[in-house]
Amino acid sequence: MFCRQCGERIARRCLCGSVCLPTDHFCGNCGGSQQQEGGHASLAGDSDVNVDQRTESDSRKVPADSLTEEAERDREHYKLGRSQLQQDDIDALFSAQGEP
Amino acid sequence: MIRAIVTDDSPATRRILISILKRISIEIVAEADNADQAVAACLEHTPDLMFLDVVMPGETGVDVLRRMRAQESGIGVIMVTSVSDRDIVECCREQGAIGYILKPFRHTRIVADVTRLCVERGLLVPPPTSGEDPTDA
């Protein structure tokens, strides 16, 4: 992933799918090397996210595919109750917290 | 400086959250990837805030909330999770969470919510409204 402003690399993806910082020596998820020549990141076939595939509205999100996949897994895991809320519903619920 | 703990079993989420929080001058005193680590870190560091995931291996974030509440820690807990189930959200609120942010989040959302909650808890002075001279006594 690259910064849309300056083009600087801001993240890369390990073979295991986790997002790593360019300064990381090892993947925080699988421990794979990120620095050595031919390390996980480059073995992944230059697997950085293609910024051209991202829409303008996505540009301010924390967008990594792995985070979205994790979110989906968690949703599946916890799909048990009456209804699913949107962020606005949750905000309303919490803002009513302090009211008498 | 406001001190915080980030608890999430996903290293990537922790890293992104921490980078956002550091940019708004919040000091991260500890990270945790499970409930026991989170509770231990709270006892050791007594932070102002804790960012807490719901789904983690072993005990959940809701369990952490219950344990923190039992200890009357006074730490402001902000849930950061993809779980949007009404029962879970209400349970977190009842157990004392002060905020609830759904994943995947926007960094502007984190900044706005954290700033607002810090002002509400007296950890931050509200920014001056537009047109107001901050140097006025």
**Could you tell me where the beta strands, DSSP code E, fall in chain B?**
2-7, 26-32, 49-52, 76-81, 99-102
The widest CA-to-CA distance across chain B, in whole angstroms, is 53
How far CA A64 is from CA of A58, B28, B102, B103, B111, in Å, comes to 10, 22, 15, 11, 19
Residues B12 and A28: their CA atoms lie apart, in Å, by: 8
Query: Which of the residue ranges A37-51, B3-17, B50-64, B65-79 would you say has the lowest mean pLDDT?
Result: A37-51
Residues of A with CB under 8 A from a CB of B: 18-19, 21, 28-29, 60-64, 66-68, 70-72, 74-75, 77-87, 90, 93-94, 97
Residue B54 phi, psi (nearest 5): -90, -50
Write down the pTM of the prediction.
Answer: 0.64
pLDDT at A65 over 80: no
Q: Residue B98: closest CA among chain A residues belongs to which residue? A: A94
Tell me: ipTM over 0.90. no
Count of CB pairs separated by less than 8 Å, A with B: 97
Q: What is the mean pLDDT of chain A?
A: 64
Q: Tokens 């919040």 label which residue?
A: B26
Residue B3 phi, psi (nearest 5): -110, 140
pLDDT at B127 over 50: yes
Q: Using one digit for the tens of pLDDT, what is the confidence trace for B30-80?
A: 999 999 999 999 999 999 999 999 999 889 999 999 998 877 778 999 999
Helices and strands of chain B, counted as H and E runs? 5, 5
Indicate the pLDDT class of residue A41, thresholds 50, 70 and 90: very low
Contact by Cβ (8 Å): B46, B5: no
Q: Tokens at residue A71, please? A: 């979110």
CATH 3.40.720.10 assigned to B2-120:
no
Residue B52 phi, psi (nearest 5): -135, 125
Residues B58 and B14: their CA atoms lie apart, in Å, by: 18
% of chain B at pLDDT higher than 70 = 92
Domain extent listing, chain B: 2-120
Contact by Cβ (8 Å): B76, B67: no
Q: Tokens at residue A26, please? A: 């090892």
Q: Tokens at residue A9, please? A: 């690399």
- CB-CB under 8 Å, B85 with A79: yes
